[in-house]
Chain A
Amino acid sequence: KQEVTQIPAALSVPEGENLVLNCSFTDSAIYNLQWFRQDPGKGLTSLLLIQSSQREQTSGRLNASLDKSSGRSTLYIAASQPGDSATYLCAVETSGSRLTFGEGTQLTVNP
């Protein structure tokens, strides 16, 4: 059974700091890995998707990497802003188009 773990569970940083969120998964037989953002009381918004054959994806200040063999992904946020405060979740796609989610990292960026 695929299990996805995110560390840390919560993170608080001052504005402007670069930061890294971690995601690990137990079964490397994945099609892709996605990072999502969830604001309080809202649904999930897809940020980045990395196919299993790729090593990284970038969107603006966000960079996600994938090391499928070791079962790890990181989400790097450069020059963090208070507007980046949210919960970040990673999910892997396995057979049957099923997504397995981690518990999320709650990020607070302080002005």
Chain B
Amino acid sequence: NAGVTQTPKFQVLKTGQSMTLQCAQDMNHNSMYWYRQDPGMGLRLIYYSASEGTTDKGEVPNGYNVSRLNKREFSLRLESAAPSQTSVYFCATLRGSEGSITEAFFGQGTRLTVV
């Protein structure tokens, strides 16, 4: 039972390159989230998907796109990477629905460096 799986774990990109971060959950949860974590700033929400087929912007969506491929998978794409996107990226899913969340589950993170 893997929970939330993110790939890759580490990535170095050159400015202007593109890449897709993959996330998959095996808990049959409806909602999935992408966060970035920067020193001294906590976790900030990039995009989220409340259910299969829907996606919404979070706090810091600029420079990113997402795809909710199916109930299990939620990918985050950087079309043209910038040094400001150097960060640790976390995928998460929540057990329950709005107002009745009981637990949050996070992947191990993707450490991305843009040079």
Residues of A at the B interface (CB closer than 8 Å) are: 4, 9, 31-32, 34, 36, 41-46, 49, 89, 91, 93, 95-104
Q: Is the interface of A mostly helix, strand, loop or mixed?
A: strand
Interface range for B: 20 to 34
Q: Is the CB of A31 within 8 A of B99?
A: yes
Whether A49 contacts B107 in the complex (CB less than 8 A), given A98-B58, A101-B43, comes out as no
Q: Is the CB of B108 within 8 A of A43?
A: yes
Q: In the docked arrangement, what's the CA distance between A106 and B90, Å?
A: 19
Q: Is the CB of A43 within 8 A of B109?
A: yes
How far in angstroms is the closest Cβ of chain B from A22? 15
Residues of B at the A interface (CB closer than 8 Å) are: 4, 31, 33, 35, 40-45, 48, 50, 56, 58, 90, 92, 94, 97-109
Q: Is the CB of B107 within 8 A of A103?
A: no
Q: Is the CB of A97 within 8 A of B109?
A: no
Residues on A with beta carbons closer than 8 Å to the beta carbon of B40: 9, 103
Residue of A nearest to B103 (CB): A46
Q: Is the CB of A96 within 8 A of B33?
A: no
Q: Is the CB of B101 within 8 A of A31?
A: yes
Across the interface, B104 reaches (CB within 8 A) one of A4, A31, A44, namely: A44
Q: In the docked arrangement, what's the CA distance between A95 and B48, Å?
A: 13
Q: In the docked arrangement, what's the CA distance between A93 and B97, Å?
A: 11
Q: Is the CB of B106 within 8 A of A99?
A: no
Q: Is the CB of B103 within 8 A of A97?
A: no
Residues on B with beta carbons closer than 8 Å to the beta carbon of A89: 42-43
Q: Is the CB of A102 within 8 A of B42?
A: yes
Across the interface, A46 reaches (CB within 8 A) one of B90, B98, B100, B104, namely: B104
Q: Is the CB of B90 within 8 A of A43?
A: yes
Q: Is the CB of A42 within 8 A of B48?
A: no
